[in-house]
């Protein structure tokens, strides 16, 4: 999670935003499309079988095309795979990613 927060800090130039998104993206000052995509990522992570055509339509309504949605699902799946693999193997974050 720290690496992702650091990426957001770097891209946005806003450490406060990165902290708020990390703590609870639902209360962070983000746009509707970003919020919809993060909600979708949570849904896919928790139980991808619960995704319905209505959920995909909600993303399309926020401006995402089918290719964007496919990209998102692939990235969500990859990060879920990687996190589970690291957790199962006991991989610790590199020291420079851990906040002091």
Tokens of 4: 């992702």
Q: Write down the pTM of the prediction.
A: 0.80
How crowded is residue 17: how many other Cβ atoms within 10 Å of its Cβ? 17
Q: Using CA atoms, how far apart are residues 76 and 78, in angstroms rounded to an integer?
A: 5
Burial class of residue 20 (count of CB atoms within 10 Å of its CB; 0-12, 13-18, 19+): middle
**Which residues lie below 8 Å from residue 35, measured CB to CB, with a gap of 6+?**
25, 26
Q: Along the 100 residues of the chain, how does pLDDT read in single tens digits? A: 566 777 788 888 888 888 898 889 999 999 999 999 999 999 999 999 999 999 999 999 999 999 999 999 999 999 999 989 999 999 887 665 555 4
């Amino acid at each position: 999670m720290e690496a992702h927060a650091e990426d957001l800090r770097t891209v946005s130039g806003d450490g406060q935003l990165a902290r708020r998104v990390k703590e609870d993206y639902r209360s962070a000052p983000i746009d509707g499309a970003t919020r919809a995509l993060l909600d979708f990522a949570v849904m896919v992570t928790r139980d991808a079988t619960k995704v319905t055509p209505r959920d995909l339509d909600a993303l399309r309504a926020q401006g995402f095309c089918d290719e964007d949605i496919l990209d998102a699902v692939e990235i969500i799946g990859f990060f879920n795979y990687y996190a589970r693999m690291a957790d199962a193997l006991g991989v610790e974050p590199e020291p420079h990613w851990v906040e002091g």
